[in-house]
Chains A and B, each alone.
Chain A
Amino acid sequence: MADHSYAHAPRPLGGSLFTPLTLLLGVLAGIAGVILLYRLFYGLGAVTNLNDGYPWGIWIAYDVVVGSAFACGGYAMALLVYIFNKGQYHPLVRPALLASLFGYTLAGASVIFDLGRWWNFWHIFWPGYAQVNSVMFEVAVCISAYIVVMWIEFSPAFLEKWGMKDVRQKLNKVLFFFIALGVLLPSMHQSSLGSLLVIFGEQIHPLWQSGMLLPVIYLMTAILLGFAVVIFEATLSSTGFKRQLETPVLTPLSKVMFGLLAAYVVVRVADLLLRGALGTAFAATWQAFWFWVEMACFVVPLVLLATEQARRSAAKLFVGAVLLMLGGFLLRINGFLVGYMTGEGWHYFPSLAELMVTVGLIAFEILAYIVIVRNYPVLPAAQPVTR
């Protein structure tokens, strides 16, 4: 058993909910809401640039594929703390889980607006309709299940606030099972998000059509992104809420992240070499260009965070984390949009309305995070900054 340290047990932050930042976030979320309402009445074509060559736009490629990977902080930390029993990272679990909760819940909710025949969405869970050979089926069921599991995992924070001790105690006895589920489910659907591309076959540029290795590549980067997002969020919320930086706990975390990153780069490059796809990276194409940008986002942190000394620097950790998030973002956008070649004559770039919905969704996530950490016990009760 690890020595879980609860010296920094989570507490509500308190403070005002009405700040220029929260107002701005609220307005952005409101704009997205209006656009989505418009979309329901006038169809996808009225607000998006989707077409039959690019039937999936950023509402899938970013909101779901990237968004859920960015929401893997809770998963990555649960894996580290409860499966690999690294108790020292315990204070990072709950805030990470909260961010994941919103990331996933909003990714799941936003899908409804991307579905053309959204009123039928329940078919995916219904025997007789459900088609188990479909990768989409696996992704949808698994993400939905994970959202429910995360709310259960996170419920102690609410139960504490509401003083429901009985429920909490009962839940605590079986919580380990939900934690296990909370590790299994993201492992399944984060890999399956990569598997979605398998059936696209040669429509995906060779730099991203890794076939049977797609689930491995997407799962490795999802965990990698989970760690990066935890570092990113911990740094931002320390700065934003004027709390002490959590660098002492982030430094060893970044070592784990570094090891996984090194393994990922080896797998990614080996796959390209074995499939003989690397040659296409030297062609004068947009795909090749974005491939190199993507690779740089993974390789630069590998160099940047190579030494223990570097990993003690809050600034380098932050830069490394941001680059990894960008790399994971590009891997997915490249796979689903840049490297999706459906024949000549098709073009897609998101419309302003599409972008505003995605921006509004992110704004809503941040807003909800702020509201919750100010009112519920999420962030460790750290001392104010002593500088």
Chain B
Amino acid sequence: MDRRTFFKASLAGGTALAAGAASCPAQARETHPMPPEAVGLLFDSVLCVGCKACVAACKEANGMPMEFSTKDQYWDTPLDISGKTLNVIKAYRNGKMEAKDREENGFAFIKKSCMHCVDPSCVSACPVSAMKKDAKTGVVTYDKDACIGCRYCVAACPFGVPRFTYDSPTPQISKCQLCIHRHKDGKYAACAEVCPTGATLYGKVSVLREEAQRRLALKPGDKTEFPRGHLRAAEEKALQGAPEGKGEQRRQGWKDDGAQRYPGVAGQYLQHIYGEKEFGGTQMLMLSGVSFQKLGYPDLPPRSDAATSETLQHTLYGGLIAPIAVLGALTFIARRNVKPEDGEGGQNG
């Protein structure tokens, strides 16, 4: 090829690539914001007593099979979330395990289930829209009838949440969907419904965040009240507005929405609401006395990986502008360089 052709080819390709790259800032995809009506869970490791009532209730509500880790197989004993288990309580143990919620020589309990990310990797990764995030409630759902079983969601999730039933010829993804199938009956997440201490609360994320902030503002040993079940905004306001001693008014509140409260003492918290900022936020918020990394939760940046991945994809393929421009340039060049009568490979030998 002569210099001129080479120059033209390079120029055409370069222009096309530059056109693609120039669209970069316009295509940058920010981390999604929290849906205003987002619902989720607040898990308070300090309140959790490790009874695992939530694990059993989750199995029942979602019709999940038993899973055994003991030889005798007397009862359901999952060690982690799996294709058969959507929610577990795990124990953190260190040294002599003398005190609860202490890192050194202590122990703690931690819930493991879907975080319902504000900007989930699984939804961005799924090539067939089997993973979806509800625009209103923000619940991350899975549709097995759409799923092709590629497991990109399993690989992408930074929390290791979506699991897969490898042993089945008709496998599917398993993950917590916040019991959305129970919502139409006015019910909510089974794990929160049965939690005796209110360590797992269900409610709007905005309300749960306020409750988390209230607990972090307490001094260890302060007398307070803990709600359990479904925490509602109005109920929360009634409590804060109620002067001391008006217990009757509060008890009225329980009857209204089924939420209950019990007196308790504030524990020792790390000043950190996990899920408030991590990964652009999650709809499961967590409080703990032990560092979240020790409890198996990764230290994540505020930007979601979905935002980075989609910024890249949109920059290269947004509106198919860059590919079409490059194809145009390539077609122009190939047309000059391919002899029509010889075609691919030639044959007049």
Q: Which residues of A pack against B, CB within 8 Å? A: 1-2, 4, 6-11, 40-46, 48, 50-53, 55-56, 81-87, 90, 93-94, 97, 114-118, 120-121, 123-124, 128-131, 133-138, 140, 153-154, 156-157, 160, 168, 171-173, 175-177, 179-181, 183-184, 187-188, 191, 195-196, 198-203, 211-212, 215, 340, 342-343, 377-378, 381
Contacts and interface: CB of A to CB of B under 8 A. Distances in A.
Residue with the highest number of chain A CB atoms closer than 10 Å, among B149, B150, B163: B150
A154 B344 contact: yes
A135 B125 contact: yes
A78 B147 CA distance: 36
B344 A179 contact: yes
Contacts of B9: 83-85
Contacts of A179: 334, 338, 344
Contacts of B152: 134, 136, 196
Given A11-B349, A200-B305, A83 B333 contact: yes
Which of B144, B296, B333 has the most chain A CB atoms inside 10 A of its CB? Answer: B333
Interface in B11-31: 13
Contacts of A140: 127
B250 interface: no
Interface in B296-320: 296, 298, 300-301, 305-306, 308-310, 312-314, 316-317
B172 interface: yes
A184 B333 CA distance: 12
A62 to B, nearest CB: 16
A199 B166 contact: no
B96 interface: no
A97 B82 CA distance: 44
Given A135-B313, A198-B308, A10 B345 contact: yes
A42 B169 CA distance: 5
Given A7-B349, A43-B171, A211-B308, 9 more contacts: A6-B348, A83-B334, A116-B150, A117-B147, A133-B314, A138-B317, A175-B340, A177-B335, A199-B156
Contact of A199 (B128, B145, B306, B316): B306
A195 B148 contact: no
B344 A117 contact: no
B338 A82 contact: yes
B155 A55 contact: yes
Closest 5 interchain pairs by CB? A116-B149, A9-B349, A45-B166, A85-B1, A117-B149
A277 to B, nearest CB: 16
A258 to B, nearest CB: 18
A6 B5 CA distance: 22
Chain B interface size, under 10 / 10 to 19 / 20 to 34 / 35 or more: 35 or more
B127 A381 contact: no
30 contacts: A6-B348, A43-B166, A43-B168, A43-B169, A44-B166, A45-B166, A46-B167, A52-B160, A53-B160, A84-B1, A84-B6, A87-B1, A93-B344, A114-B150, A116-B148, A116-B165, A117-B149, A123-B146, A130-B127, A131-B126, A137-B127, A171-B343, A172-B341, A176-B337, A176-B338, A188-B316, A199-B125, A199-B156, A215-B312, A342-B155
Contact of A180 (B154, B155, B170, B331): B331
B128 A55 contact: no
B146 A129 contact: yes
B129 interface: yes
Contacts of B238: none
Interface in B276-327: 296, 298, 300-301, 305-306, 308-310, 312-314, 316-317, 323, 326-327
B1 A201 contact: no
Nearest to A120: B148
A4 B342 CA distance: 10
Contacts of B338: 82, 175-176, 179
A8 B349 contact: yes
A236 B165 CA distance: 43
Given A175-B340, A202-B298, A184 B125 contact: no
B318 to A, nearest CB: 10
Contacts of A168: 343
B323 A82 contact: no
A40 B151 CA distance: 17
B330 A83 contact: yes
B110 to A, nearest CB: 14
Contacts of B344: 93-94, 97, 153-154, 156-157, 175, 179
A118 B151 CA distance: 12
Contact of A94 (B6, B169, B341, B345): B345
A211 B346 CA distance: 42
Contacts of B346: 4, 6, 9-10, 90
Given A53-B160, A199-B156, A116 B151 contact: yes
B82 to A, nearest CB: 7
A120 B9 CA distance: 42
A196 B164 CA distance: 20
Contacts of A118: 148-149
A43 B149 CA distance: 11
Contacts of A130: 127-129
B70 interface: no
A82 B334 contact: yes
B323 A184 contact: yes
A134 B127 contact: yes
B334 A177 contact: yes
A101 B172 CA distance: 32
A121 B345 CA distance: 34
